[in-house]
Chains A and B, each alone.
Chain A
Amino acid sequence: MSGKLDLDPVVVRRARRLAQKAGRPVVDLARSHTTMSVERAVLRLAGVTGADADGIPWVNRLVDAVVADVGLGHGAALPVFDALAREGLDDVTLLAQKAAAGSVRFEVPAGKAATAAKRASRRAVAAGIRRIDRRRAERDRLIKRHGDPAIGLGRGAASDAPSETDRKRPWIYIIVATGDIYEDIPQAQAAAREGADIIAVIRSTGQSLLDYVPEGATREGFAGTYATQENFRLMRAALDESSRELGRYIRLTNYASGLCMPEIATLAGLERLDMMLNDSMYGILFRDINPIRTFVDQRFSRQIHARAGIIINTGEDNYLTTADAVEAAHTVTVSQLLNEYFAHEAGLADWQLGLGHAFEINPDLPESFRLELAHALLARELFPDAPLKWMPPTKHMTGDVFRGNLLDGFFNLVGAMTGQGILLVGMMTEAVVTPWLSDRDIALQNVRYVLNAAGGLREDFVPAPGGFIQSRARQVLGEAVELLERIVDDGLLNAIADGTFGIMKRPADRGKGLDGVARHEADYYNPATEILEAAA
């Protein structure tokens, strides 16, 4: 502990141990189950691409055909590569097309056929993972060439992040969301020119509940743009252009969540996205996706992100928009600890953990700013090597844009004083309109002013020993430990079923996507997991 809050290291260790204990059974569940989307992700790595005339990806048609013949529990790799050999084909997409036409029968191979299918599938998937590796190496090269804005970390920086111990400023994160990728591109490039380090393309409302990933460039979305491989590629290419022009590497963010989480993670790795929203419980709580499906998909996605060098962003800010930000402060800490455990277990390093939290305390509450400082500093000190993601006020933005701009200024100040790594730029027109050009400009001006005026204040900001901020932080940590104890006693799945987080009750046998979950059969085989776990 760097000690600004004088946290008791025994309590901190206890919190981590409890999170591990609470998360362990869920990891066991994830290791013994698979989902439709995990199997589709494996086949995407093996080279299945494209979609049929109705826009349904071939990979969906293929996995559906496999499941219809032999079920999901053996995994898709063996039946598919066995059929490929029997049909005398070498193109998995062609096999998918034949399967969709009903001219291929799948079986679970045994003996020599099984050994051959295993070897062939592993070779194909390894080629896909090598493509992800090459994209990661390419990112490293581009960062070296174009330069990287130094990121804020609690203390010494980690391997792949900039090595400067005392960084200049957080990464500035801006959202674009027009629904039309060709409209998003100039907006993203303009935002980068105005100072954004990270561009996030918000997804179309409802994509999380689609059980397939749309194909191609898209020009229509609801309050966001569809995540597709082609959209990823177009935006990454545009931002590479901006990186060259601006002399700093501009990062691209999207969302690995919803029913297709593992596939989207895979596409992100293949197209060199740099950050992905990837919370362990968001889909369960806020989208009513089946808990087991989510945890299985989650683990695979995080293994891919680990391999691809992608930084994940977790969604703790969402709890504060549903629950009271003071009363529920400890649920954020608990979720951060769980997210950390699940991430480490899946092979992610600390520098890849953009753990989330937000400035959402009611500004009418006395000392609300000091409470925000206490909560933000608690996260900083608990996770000193993680690039925390600091989210702006939304719940108490009312349409009074003048007050909104002031709140955003205070939000930026907390970010500067507590060394947050990723600063999502708040808009004074939050809850009014999707940001106008001028809103974004004013918001960035606000960020620049605060970072310029108080960027180094963190050095001088040492809360008084035993004072308000230290006491509050310790109280939140104490409440987090109590909640973790209850979760350990109850079981995490039961806690989720009982509505512990964000007040939603989500039983393990309900929710969307449950029918796409299966327990592993004895001969289940997943070459991607095998390769990813061997490396970890």
Chain B
Amino acid sequence: MTASHQYCTFYLGDQCFGLDVLKVQEIVRYQPLTMVPLAHPMVRGLINLRGQIVTAIDLRVRLALPPRLESDEPVNVVLQTDDGAVSLMVDEIGDVMEVAEEHFERPPETLRGAAWDLIQGAYKLTDRLLVILDPELVVSLPAEQN
């Protein structure tokens, strides 16, 4: 029997992404945002999560993907980090998926481009790839990684 991991999955466009389920605190539907002027573009604003002020990061901006349509309401994936809860705004939420380690593969050398360093690897599912993101790096400003 091989080891398996559980991932919270979500979509940005057609691509399926996964984050370690233990790092995900909760999923919250779209919340009214308070804009933060002068902030990095990936910070969409602040939300009030039951009395806690949480920074909301647009994962599309973080991964340098094209912006989502105005009409689409993003969903908040709230992560637990050392610095408190941080929300990632994604297009659509998927299931919690249990995948076997044997299907995991590290990113190929050819993986380059924006934010490639956030990608830990991918699970080869039957019909698609589940791309696993680094939960710590994904919430940090791009400049902080250096």
A binds B: no
Taking Cβ atoms with an 8 Å cutoff, the residues of B that contact A are none
